[in-house]
C-alpha cells in the first residue's frame, strides 16, 4: 500500500472539522457519543481519512468504555503505534499505517485471544457493510 501524504489544507478540505480535530490534531470524542459505539452491523471499519481497512466487525466488542472497541486489527500491517505522553500518563496511540490518521489508543485489558482493547474514535472510522 502506498503511504498517503497530504498537506493540512488538503486534509481540512476533505474532513469535517470534527473529523479533522480527531485524526489530524489527536483529539478524542466524548465517551458514549460516537456513531459506532453501539453499532452492530457486519462489515469492515475503514479509516475515515484514506479508506484503508482497519477492523472487522467480528472483532468488535462492548468494552463499556464508551468508544468502539476491537480486540484485533484487520491485518498486521493496518495500524502503527507510538508512545503518547499527553494527559500526564504514558499510553499507546494507534494510527492508520496508510495515512497516519490518529484513531485512538490500545490497552492491555481486552478479551482473549489477544488481550488487547483497541479503543477507537467513531469519527476516525467509516463502515463498509458486508456484501456491499
SS3 79: strand
CA dist 53 to 31, 62, 75, 127, Å? Answer: 23, 20, 8, 9
pLDDT of residue 23: 97
Q: What is the CATH number of the domain that holds 27?
A: 2.170.150.20
Stretch 105-116: mean pLDDT: 96
Determine the structural domain holding residue 103 and report its residue range.
8-129
> Does 94 reside within a domain?
yes
SS3 58: helix
Q: Given a cut of 90, is residue 1 above it in pLDDT?
A: no
**Percentage of the chain exceeding pLDDT 90:** 91
> Does 41 reside within a domain?
yes
Q: Looking at the 3D structure of the chain, how many domains does it have?
A: 1
Supply the pTM of this predicted model: 0.94
Q: Is 44 within 8 Å of 128 (Cβ atoms)?
A: yes
> Does 1 reside within a domain?
no
Grid cell 469519527 is found at 123
Q: Is 54 within 8 Å of 45 (Cβ atoms)?
A: yes
pLDDT of residue 80: 96
pLDDT of residue 3: 84
In this prediction, residue 132 has a pLDDT band, given cuts at 50, 70 and 90, of: low
> Does 3 reside within a domain?
no
Residue 29 DSSP symbol: P
Which residues are catalytic, by number?
119
**Percentage of the chain exceeding pLDDT 70:** 98
Amino acid at each position: 500500500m502506498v503511504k498517503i501524504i497530504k498537506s493540512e489544507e488538503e486534509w481540512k478540505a476533505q474532513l469535517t472539522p470534527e473529523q479533522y480535530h480527531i485524526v489530524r490534531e489527536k483529539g478524542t470524542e466524548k465517551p458514549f457519543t460516537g456513531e459506532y459505539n453501539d453499532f452492530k452491523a457486519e462489515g469492515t471499519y475503514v479509516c475515515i481519512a484514506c479508506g484503508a481497512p482497519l477492523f472487522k466487525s467480528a472483532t468488535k466488542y462492548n468494552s463499556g468504555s464508551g468508544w468502539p472497541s476491537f480486540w484485533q486489527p484487520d491485518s498486521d500491517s493496518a495500524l502503527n503505534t507510538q508512545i503518547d505522553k499527553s494527559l500526564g500518563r504514558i499510553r499507546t496511540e494507534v494510527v492508520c499505517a496508510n495515512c497516519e490518521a490518529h484513531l485512538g489508543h490500545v490497552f492491555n485489558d481486552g478479551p482473549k485471544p489477544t488481550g488487547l482493547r483497541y479503543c477507537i474514535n467513531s469519527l476516525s472510522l467509516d463502515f463498509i457493510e458486508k456484501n456491499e
